[in-house]
Amino acid sequence: MGYDNRMRDDKETIHIAETEPTQLNNPQLSSLPSFMLAWVENNSHDIILVLDALGRLTYVSKTVESILGYHPSDLVGKLWHELISAEDASYMKDNFDETHTQTQSFTMNVVNRDGKYIWSECSAAKIVDQENGRTYYLATIADIRDKKEVEEMMIRSEKMSVAGQLAAGIAHEIRNPLTSLKGFLQLLQAGVKRKEEYYNIMIEEIEKMETITSELLFISKPLTDNKKMESIAAMIHDVVVLLQPQAKMKNIEIEYTISKKEQIFCDRSQVKQVLINLVKNAIEAMDDGGKIRLITHSTDTHVEINIVDEGPGIPEEIIHKLGEPFFTTKQSGTGLGIMITKQILERHHAFLEIKANEQMGSTFRILFPVIMN
């Protein structure tokens, strides 16, 4: 279907502005009519890129000025990976499929003219010119900072909701050591012996309360964005400490045996939030008690964490709906927990698999790529 650059069928005139001559003179774009490039320049809100077979930018739309602050001529000739974070570049190199020409999408950090990273969504496709055999890459980059801000607001809201829901169990868990402390203090006031033994027990009880309250305070803090190699065992231990009181109230045992050697490149606060969401969901799904098991497994390419519960399970027909905004199977649920979990995992180039177990319950499997820092 062709377009006339002066008139459409409905006789409405299209006004076309001049396109950057430095880009139109590019030999690889010379076959494109100037009015087509001009239309792209004036009607796209995203950055549009054309790359050669080596990954060098041969065309950059003028929208790059408003989004990243560059002039198009500043970027022509640069390699694509020079403009994004090293972690994102590594992930794209490993996961962009060169064998087909379908559009592939990635979330990544693009550096602007001031050296700051901008959350962006890139859609790219490999194109082969059948006439001359040349390979091109066409890509669009969308500014998703507003979307990320909304996501952060939802995450903060959900974190506060989780803290409120856990408060009853944690208050009960703290009351027990407080009762013990009161008893020991009364004994000490009465002048009993064995003071050192009592002091040691009292310190242990205080440390238990400190651990629980620290994890509760963690929930209310904003998520950070500081990725480094982190121990999976340590993060799971912290989450179990926080959720154990709620599990005890429902006669649920949380079981985990995890190698201390397994690590992933991640932001600790974000991954702990993911684990809190998933383990808490498992606890809420089990009304008759039982066991929740956390199991890890490693390969050369992935590290996976499995959360296996003994609840009623999730019907196959609704598994694909989990993660949609406001879809929930719980009467008092918001439907945001799984959605937020998937968003956080997307930032780590990880993903979530949900399946029903053969006998009872469900398994939530998180797969993290092995990324060397």
Residue 363 is part of a domain; what is its CATH number? 3.30.565.10
Residues 264 and 330 in one domain: yes
Residues 32 and 51 in one domain: yes
Which range is most confident: 20-29, 220-229, 341-350? 341-350
Domain C-terminal end among 143, 164, 193: 143
Residue 254 pLDDT = 93
Q: Per mean pLDDT, which range of 5-9, 33-37, 46-50, 114-118 is the poorest?
A: 5-9
Give the residue with greater pLDDT, 133 vs 303: 303
Q: For residues 217 and 236, what is the distance between their CA atoms, to the nearest angstrom?
A: 17
Residue 35 — very low, low, confident or very high, per pLDDT cuts 50/70/90? Answer: low
Domain C-terminal end among 92, 109, 143: 143
Give the residue with greater pLDDT, 225 vs 232: 232
- Residue 233: inside a domain: yes
- Residue 10: inside a domain: no
Q: Look at residue 196 and tell me whether its pLDDT is greater than 60.
A: yes
Residues 277 and 305 in one domain: yes
3-state secondary structure of 111: strand
Residue 190 pLDDT = 76
Residues 220 and 339 in one domain: yes
Task: Sort 215 into a burial class: Cβ within 10 Å, 0-12 / 13-18 / 19+.
Answer: buried
CATH code, domain with 39: 3.30.450.20
C-alpha angle 258-315-244 in degrees, rounded to nearest 5: 35
What domain range includes position 59? 21-143
- Residue 15: inside a domain: no
- Residue 354: inside a domain: yes
DSSP string, 226-281: -EEEEEHHHHHHHHHHHHHHHHHHTTEEEEE---TT-EEEEEHHHHHHHHHHHHHH
Residues 162 and 124 in one domain: no
Q: Look at residue 27 and tell me whether its pLDDT is greater than 70.
A: no
Domain C-terminal end among 143, 167, 186: 143
Q: Look at residue 367 and tell me whether its pLDDT is greater than 90.
A: yes
Give the residue with greater pLDDT, 173 vs 113: 113
Q: Region 270-287: what's the mean pLDDT?
A: 89
Residues 161 and 272 in one domain: yes
Q: Look at residue 263 and tell me whether its pLDDT is greater than 80.
A: yes
Residue 189 pLDDT = 77
Residue 372 pLDDT = 59
- Residue 13: inside a domain: no
- Residue 52: inside a domain: yes
Query: Could you report the per-residue pLDDT of 140-193, keeping only the tens digit for each?
Result: 999 888 877 777 777 777 677 676 767 766 776 677 777 777 777 877 777 777
Q: Per mean pLDDT, which range of 34-38, 170-174, 199-203 is the poorest?
A: 34-38
Which range is most confident: 15-19, 39-43, 160-164, 297-301? 297-301
* 351-354: long-range contacts, CB 8 A cutoff, minimum separation 24: 352/323, 354/314, 354/319, 354/322
Residues 207 and 294 in one domain: yes
Residues 177 and 109 in one domain: no
Please tell me the total count of domains within the chain: 2
Residues 177 and 319 in one domain: yes
Query: Could you report the per-residue pLDDT of 304-348, keeping only the tens digit for each?
Result: 999 999 888 776 655 555 655 544 555 444 455 677 788 889 888
- Residue 159: inside a domain: yes
Give the residue with greater pLDDT, 334 vs 278: 278
Task: Sort 247 into a burial class: Cβ within 10 Å, 0-12 / 13-18 / 19+.
Answer: buried
Residue % of the chain over a pLDDT of 90: 21
Q: Determine contact, residues 332/281, Cβ cutoff 8 Å.
A: no
Residues 221 and 353 in one domain: yes
Q: Region 268-291: what's the mean pLDDT?
A: 89
- Residue 239: inside a domain: yes
Q: Determine contact, residues 224/267, Cβ cutoff 8 Å.
A: yes
Residues 237 and 293 in one domain: yes
Residues 52 and 138 in one domain: yes
Q: Look at residue 9 and tell me whether its pLDDT is greater than 80.
A: no
Residue 291 pLDDT = 93
Q: Region 93-113: what's the mean pLDDT?
A: 87
Q: Determine contact, residues 224/231, Cβ cutoff 8 Å.
A: no
Query: Could you report the per-residue pLDDT of 129-146, keeping only the tens digit for each?
Result: 888 888 889 999 998 888
Residue 83 pLDDT = 92
